Amino acid sequence: MTEPISAGQFHAADGVEDWRSLYHVVTAYFPTGSLRRGIALADRIGQVLGEADEQDVTIDLRHSGVTVSLRRRDADLARRISAAAAGLGLTADPAAVQVVNITLDALTGADVLPFWRAVLGYGQIGDDYLYDPARRGPGFGLQQMTAARPDRNRMHVDVAVPHDQAEARVAAALAAGGHLVSDEHAPRWWTLADPEGNEACIATWLAPRRT
């Protein structure tokens, strides 16, 4: 197993142009245009995986394409999967990947997390994050508050997008009637809101700009 590397180190590696870092995973999307071609790609990926790789790879197979996510930033494994896709004549679409999480602001996370775990039927990682064991639904996280905040909604959507697509996604949201709440942490994340004040964050792996 390779040693953990940062998102920056992963993207600096050769041959990983198909892939984008999204929170703790790296992801690639290969349009296939048919379920048959998608199954062929999933089979080819299975052939190039080592036994130790299998637990780190998630494959989402749809009629339109295959999304592959790696739980560790393994550039060699990413290259092998890209080569398998290329061998079938498939080209990745790096702009088409994203990860969606729902985030709840909480004063006492230990009190509220068991409720949401029971409601969602999710598993738990650490003290503040829930996940779908079937890997179908969005993640659910807690964000610690130090004081009550009655003037703003306490639940929002976090969307991790490719670092080279974030500003376009923000611009599209603003053009669609949203407004900027804060760009203090950009390009790590922008906080936006719809016309009624419901918030969402657009996030990348990039470090915040220095002021």
Domain boundary pick from 54, 88, 122: 88
For range 37-64, the mean pLDDT: 94
Is 84 in contact with 90 (CB distance < 8 Å)? no
**Hey, how many other C-beta atoms are within 10 angstroms of the C-beta on 187?**
18
pLDDT > 70: what percent of the chain?
Answer: 98
Decide if 208 is inside a domain.
no
pTM, 2 dp:
0.90
Decide if 64 is inside a domain.
yes
What is d(CA 131, CA 100) in angstroms, rounded to the nearest whole number?
Answer: 11
Helix (H) or strand (E) segment spanning residue 170: helix 166-175
Domain boundary pick from 41, 62, 88: 88
What is d(CA 192, CA 35) in angstroms, rounded to the nearest whole number?
Answer: 36
pLDDT, position 2: 59
pLDDT grade, residue 109 (50/70/90)? confident
Residue 154 or 132, more confident: 132
Closest by CA to 58, choosing from 76, 74, 48, 71, is 71
Decide if 80 is inside a domain.
yes
pLDDT grade, residue 211 (50/70/90)? low
Q: Does position 191 have pLDDT exceeding 70, yes or no?
A: yes
**DSSP strands (E only) in 107-164:** 123-125, 129-131, 139-144, 155-160
For range 177-196, the mean pLDDT: 96
pLDDT, position 150: 77
Instruction: Say if residue 61 is in the same domain as residue 23.
Output: yes
The count of domains in the chain is 2
